[in-house]
Structure 1
Amino acid sequence: MKRHRIVIAGCGNMARTWAEYALARQDAEIVGLADKFPASAEAFAQKFGLTCPTFTDVGEALRATGATLMFDVAVPDSRRDVVTAALAAGCDVMAEKPLGATMEQARDIVAAADRSGRFCAIMQNRRYDKRIRALRDVIASGRAGEIGFACADFFLGPHFGGFREAMDSPLLLDMAIHTFDQARFMLGKDPIAVTAHEWNPPGSWYNGNASAVCLFEYADGTVFSYRGSWCAEGAPTSWESSWRLVGSRGTVLWDGHGAPTYEVAIADAEPAFLRRTERFTAELDWEGREGHAGCLDEMFAALQEGRRAETDCRDNIRSLAMVHGALRSAKEGRKVAIEF
């Protein structure tokens, strides 16, 4: 069994989940920590009882440790530099989202992965939920027919404090990629254009735009409607959004909490103004782990099997393109093509 020698880049709070996962694997060891703040790396090592060396430079960490795998959990602005350095050094990479702070940076990472031939996958932990996977299976089965209209509502009022409350576009830039990626995963296709509007409503505690509506268009005529707010107190949706997907034979519903349901028109029902329907509950039969562990399980399985992960950088850039397409549309006040 191949043993993975891991350097963790970025020793903030997010890195804890990654470290805990690595320490639980029999085929992995953490051989180095890299953070531009030495005290952060040293405190992280002490917290997890690690005796590995710490570094302020990623390149030095890779050379000194003989790492074969980089966990990049550093801030998004450093993603391109950290990931491309690792790939150029012949190291495989698993990184936090987003793939890049900008689309240009994301494209540079994909190009570096292509040049190096190394593995590069991005964390999209919200794909790994048995309810989302069940919803995807219902759509793929065609039980509700061909989906032509998908809707997601996301309304929560978290008081984060810190950087999110200072961002220009906290909802679209920091959170919406999860819902957009879920839409890509559920529908199995990518939009070609978007019309978006973002704003900061009364009572918001964010400096930037904490609310948005986005209308994504697909080449086959499908439409995906997103409505969201991060300063909506009262009647919250789940973090997974509330979904309605309308197909040619029926409708799939998921409130983001329980099992998805779907209602289909009864084919042999008597002619009526509104046809009778029958309701079903989706089977929650996915046996994989959920959340970060589920995504990391898939990444490691793909790496060991010599294939691209489900969240390979070449796929994930399409989810990021939805975010930046929506931001551009809102800024320019017009429909824009989604480019990746």
Structure 2
Amino acid sequence: MTDHAPLRVVQVGAGGMGRAWLATVAADPDVELVGVVDLDLDAARTGADLAGAPSIPVGRDLTALLAETGAEAVLDITVPVAHHQVTMDALHAGLPVLGEKPAAQTVAEALSLAAAAEVTGQLFMVSQSRRYNDQLVAFRQHVRALGGVGSLNTRFARAPRFGGFREEMDDVLLLDMAIHAFDSARYVLEREPVSVYCESWNPSWSWYRGHANAAAVFTFEDDVRYVYDGSWCAPGDETSWNGDWRATGATGSAAWDGDHDPSSVVDGGAGSPEPAAGVGTEIAGALASFVRAVRSGHRPDGEVHRNVMSLVMVDAAIASARSGQRVVVDEVLEQAHATALETERDEAVRERLAAWGPVRQALATDSGALA
């Protein structure tokens, strides 16, 4: 691939989210769809038609289709339970991968994939699409100008009636939605979480089986607090899907309603931080970032080592809600690492996992990820 040639990709998964990705791929001149993989061949063919490429190969077997098409990268838009196997197959085929969030179904599987990226020398980027929002970027600029941040708060209140699997999930809010806010908090604070105390519950009128409400207090590095207050059964005065945000610092505060430009008050006057470059919009922005990273070798925001901690925040919050106790993030990481070592079947990946020191340090340095 040259800087001017479209990146040839095979997409795995042609369901509801897969169709959104296929339309995004079709609209990006820097990407060429050369194959679609899905267990449902009719869905794969429909997806190829949607992408304006009805004659491209489709199939159920990723490895076979990669060999047939000469693809240069893989888009993994499958359900979370399939992420580990699909991504592992693509990495071992010598191809970079852009996958839908979460990185994997469990933290242990995500650590396995981080180690596999190191072993294969291939990029695995997770599309945490809410980061691709120029208003969020601007909000971070406002927060940076507060002279040191002490606390960050997110209020999330929506009342969607999805039907289907979400309404039957355990911990539905924390598992399926809160990761967006948690990942954005890491981005805005430019720090990593240390511990969390969380409570979750289901109000009497909830149409969800699992807990649709949660309140969590995270301690981040430098003793910064992040407070998340969320509900998926909150009819009435609903927030943006991005939530409603407020940060407090040494010289003032910054606010973002999730849908409009953020603002701040610094030393009693309107804040005017330095502007930042745009990052694109949601999955289109994530796709463009992935293509740039493949071409340049630069590590993007969603590179797996940098993304794992967002999934860890979810697991730690759920563990705290179930135990009623404060949970230390490093304990969640180390337990997941032990599980990954115990269950890993690939010898080279297991050896790489075993060679890691403290997991937090391995994720922060990720020196072998794009070797």
Give the TM-score of the pair, scaled to structure 1.
0.92
Letter in 2 for 1:21: T
Deviation, structure 1 residue 289: 2.2
| CA displacement at 1:66 relative to structure 2 | 2.2
Give the alignment partner of residue 285 of structure 2, picking from 256, 280, 294. Answer: 294
Match of residue 186, structure 1, among 188, 193, 205? 188
Distance 1:185 1:318 in 2: 11
- State whether residues 303 and 309 of structure 1, in contact with CA within 8 Å, keep that contact through their aligned partners in structure 2: no
Whole-Å separation in 1 of the counterparts to 2:254 and 2:51: 44
Which aligned pairs between 1:45-124 and structure 2 lie closer than 5 A? 45-50=48-53, 51-124=55-128
Whole-angstrom CA distance in 2 between matches of 1:48 and 1:219: 44
Contact 1:135/1:282, CA 8 A, preserved across alignment: no
Could you tell me how far 1:30 is from its partner in structure 2? Answer: 1.5
Report the alpha carbon displacement of residue 47 of structure 1 after superposing the two structures with TM. 3.1
Secondary structure of residue in 2 paired with 1:209: coil
Identity %: 37
Asked if residue 8 in structure 1 is aligned to residue 11 in structure 2, the reply is yes
How big is the shift at 1:130? 1.5
Unpaired runs of at least 5, structure 2: 334-371
Please give the per-residue CA displacement for 1:7-38, whole angstroms capped at 9, x wherever unaligned.
11011111223222322333432121111122
Q: Amino acid of the residue matched to residue 58 of structure 1?
A: L
Would the aligned equivalents of 1:192 and 1:217 in 2 still touch at CA under 8 Å?
yes
Return the letter of the residue paired with 1:38.
L
Query: Aligned partners of 1:316, 1:236: CA distance in 2, in Å?
Result: 28
Q: Does 1:242 align with 2:244?
A: yes
Counterparts of 2:239 and 2:245 in 1: how far apart (Å)? 10
Identify unmatched segments of 5+ residues in structure 1: 266-276
Secondary structure of the 1:29 match is: strand
* Matched letter for residue 313 of structure 1: V
2:335 paired with 1:333: no
The aligned counterpart of 2:47 is 44
Structure 2 Cα separation of the partners of residues 47 and 19 of structure 1: 7
Superposed, 1:191-270 pairs within 5 Å as: 191-265=193-267
- With normalisation by structure 2, the TM-score equals 0.84
Give CA deviations for 1:155-203 in whole Å, capped at 9, x if unaligned: 0001111111111111100110110011000010111111111111111
- Counterpart amino acid of residue 254 in structure 1: W
Q: Secondary structure at the match of 2:242?
A: coil
Residues 122 and 196 of structure 1: CA distance in aligned 2, closer, same or farther (over 3 Å): same
CA offsets per residue over residues 254-284 of structure 1, 9 Å max, x none? 122222111123xxxxxxxxxxx22336677
Change (3 A) 1:74 1:56: same
Structure 1 position 136 matched with structure 2 position 140: yes
Partner of 1:303: 294
**Closer, same or farther: CA 223–287 of 1 in aligned 2, 3 Å:** closer
- The alignment covers a number of residue pairs equal to 327
Which residue number in structure 2 is paired with residue 268 of structure 1? Answer: none
- Describe the SS at the equivalent of 1:86: helix
Alignment of 1:137-176 (within 5 A): 137-140=141-144, 143-176=145-178
Per-residue Cα deviation, 1:55-98 (whole angstroms, up to 9, x for no partner): 11222222222221000001100000000000001011001001
| Alignment root-mean-square deviation, CA | 1.6
